Every structure is written in structure tokens, then in C-alpha cells.
């Protein structure tokens, strides 16, 4: 299958507000949560808050770390805070979910050994809202990945690529994942910071789909499953 890339939406949250959230996430959860609640009160819908507020805040934390403005502990604390905000609003976000299972299953992995799982959590939320049975996992090792894929059927397997140091190992992992998967036509999707930094990363890793924002990624995955079904 030729490589397919999802589009990325445009932001609607003010950049200054995103910076306020990012800073608050490092030091005080309640302040970060209050900032997000203020956006809701101002009329910004929750989907836009997720995609155009929380995601850019997480990216900003990563950028500050790369620029040595904050250390690894602070970026980890900040990212964890943003994840907790996702959990806080999850029931409200999923109120609009399609209650009927659409027949598709997806699982999203962080890079084995990574402490950051914000991206996979966000993806799982959007997929669940559209009727998927979706889960996310922070595997301690490749064995954890293979165990999941050998026990459950998935139409889509996603990997978040957060560092270029893991590319070699992830390429081998994706190859093995296809062999282990109960679904011989499983679609492999990649996302994360390295996707933008390495344009041909999907080809290098042997992935099928390149995720954009979580909303676009869900649509992309569903469209390509439909194409596989029609070609069968």
C-alpha cells in the first residue's frame, strides 16, 4: 500500500494562552485545569481545546526542552499534567460518542521505554468517540507489544515516535508486529514529533499511514480500512 498522510488542522486557541497553559502544567495542575476551563467558558468547544490547545502546549514543552529552557523532569511533569486534563474531560468529550461499536479496533503504543504517552491517549479518545474499540499502552518492552497483537485483532496499530534514537529499533518492531498481528492486513500508523522532523520517516519504518491531528487520523484510518474491505 502506498503511503498516506493525514492533514493537520489549524489552531483556534491564542498562542499566548497556550504558553500560559504550558507553564502552568509544569508547576500546578489546578492552575492548568483552570486555564482550560476558562477556554470552555469563553465558548471554545472541547474538540478544539484538545487539538488546538493541549496538543500545541505539549509540543511547546518539547520545544522548550530541546532548547534547554526546561529539564527532562519538568517536561515530564508538564506532559503528565496535560494527560490528567485529558482524563478529566474524557467523560464530557465522549458524551458525543457514537454508542454503537463500528466493528473496528485500534491500539496505540508509545515507543517502548518512553515515559510520554500523551499522543496515544489523545488518539484513543478520538477513535473511541467515533465508535472504535481503542486502547493505548505504554509498553516496557517489545514483548509487551507482541503480546497485545498476538491476543487481540486490530485493524490499526499506531506508534508514537518521540525520538530519533528509537528509529532503528522501531523499524524492526513494526516489521515483527506485522508478522505477529492476528490481522494479516493490519494498517500501521505512525505519529509524533519525529514525523514532522523526518519527512520520509514512514518509508524508513515501513508504516502505511502518517497521522496528523487525532481527528484527521481517525478519518484517515477509517477511509483506508474501507478501501481494504472493498478490495477484498
Q: What is the pLDDT, as a whole number, of residue 98?
A: 63
Report DSSP state, residue 198: S
pLDDT at 12: 63
Q: Are 206 and 232 in contact (CB under 8 A)?
A: no
User: pLDDT tens digits, residue range 74-118?
Assistant: 999 999 999 999 999 999 999 876 677 899 999 999 887 676 689
What is the predicted pLDDT for the residue at 207?
96
Q: Which residues of the chain have pLDDT under 50?
A: 1-10
Q: How many helices (H) and strands (E) does the chain have?
A: 11, 6
Of 173, 199, 197, which Cα lies nearest the Cα of 111? 173
Q: State residue 45 phi and psi, 5-degree precision.
A: -70, 160
Q: How far apart are CA 210 and CA 197, in angstroms?
A: 13
CATH fold of the domain at 98-231:
Rossmann fold (3.40.50)
pLDDT of residue 162: 80
pLDDT value at position 4?
Answer: 38
User: Could you tell me if 190 and 205 are in contact, meaning their C-beta atoms sit under 8 angstroms apart?
Assistant: yes
**pLDDT at residue number 186:** 97
State the Cα–Cα distance between residues 206 and 188, nearest whole angstrom. 8
Segments making up each domain of the chain, as ranges: 15-96, 98-231
Specify the CATH number for 15-96; select among 3.30.70, 1.10.1240, 1.10.287, 2.60.40.
1.10.1240
Supply the pTM of this predicted model: 0.88
Amino acid at each position: 500500500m502506498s503511503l498516506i498522510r493525514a492533514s493537520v488542522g489549524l489552531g483556534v486557541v491564542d498562542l499566548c494562552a497556550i504558553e500560559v497553559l504550558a507553564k502552568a502544567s509544569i508547576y500546578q495542575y489546578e492552575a492548568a485545569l483552570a486555564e482550560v476551563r476558562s477556554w470552555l467558558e469563553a465558548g471554545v468547544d472541547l474538540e478544539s481545546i484538545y487539538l488546538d490547545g493541549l496538543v500545541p502546549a505539549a509540543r511547546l514543552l518539547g520545544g522548550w526542552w530541546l532548547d534547554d529552557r526546561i529539564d527532562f523532569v519538568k517536561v515530564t511533569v508538564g506532559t503528565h499534567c496535560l494527560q490528567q486534563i485529558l482524563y478529566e474531560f474524557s467523560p464530557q468529550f465522549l458524551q458525543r460518542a457514537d454508542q454503537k461499536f463500528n466493528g473496528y479496533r485500534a491500539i496505540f503504543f508509545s515507543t517502548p521505554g518512553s515515559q510520554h504517552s500523551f499522543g496515544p491517549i489523545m488518539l484513543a479518545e478520538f477513535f473511541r468517540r467515533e465508535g472504535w474499540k481503542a486502547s493505548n499502552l505504554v509498553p516496557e518492552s517489545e514483548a509487551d507489544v507482541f503480546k497485545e497483537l498476538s491476543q487481540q485483532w486490530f485493524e490499526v496499530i499506531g506508534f508514537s515516535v518521540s525520538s530519533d534514537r528509537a528509529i532503528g529499533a522501531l523499524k524492526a518492531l513494526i516489521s515483527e508486529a506485522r508478522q505477529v498481528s492476528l490481522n494479516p492486513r493490519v494498517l500501521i500508523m505512525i505519529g509524533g514529533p519525529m514525523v514532522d522532523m523526518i519527512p520520509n520517516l514512514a518509508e524508513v519504518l515501513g508504516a502505511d499511514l502518517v497521522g496528523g491531528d487525532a481527528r484527521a487520523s481517525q478519518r484517515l484510518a477509517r477511509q483506508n480500512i474501507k478501501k481494504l474491505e472493498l478490495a477484498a
